[in-house]
Amino acid sequence: MNKPLSKQLGELFAQFQDLIDTASHTVIKRLNEDDKKRNRLLSFFSTIGDSYYKKYSEIKKDSKSS
Is it the case that residue 57 has pLDDT exceeding 80? yes
Domain with 62 in it: 39-66
Q: Are 38 and 3 contacting, i.e. CB atoms less than 8 angstroms apart?
A: no
Find the mean pLDDT for residues 51-64: 82
The answer, yes or no, to whether residue 36 has pLDDT greater than 70, is: no
Give the DSSP letter string of the chain. -PPPHHHHHHHHHHHHHHHHHHHHHHHHHHHHH-TTT--HHHHHHHHHHHHHHHHHHHHHHHHHH-
Domain assignment present for residue 47? The answer is: yes
pLDDT of residue 35: 59
- The domain total for the chain is 1
* Between 12 and 50, residue with greater pLDDT: 12
- Of 47, 61, 62, 49, nearest in space to 20 by CA: 49
28 assigned to some structural domain: no
pLDDT at 66: 60
Query: Is residue 53 in some structural domain?
Result: yes
- Classify residue 3: in a domain, yes or no: no
Whether 54 is covered by a domain: the verdict is yes
The answer to whether residue 59 sits within a structural domain is yes
pLDDT of residue 55: 87
Task: Classify residue 30: in a domain, yes or no.
Answer: no
Highest average pLDDT, of 41-45, 51-55, 61-65, comes from: 51-55
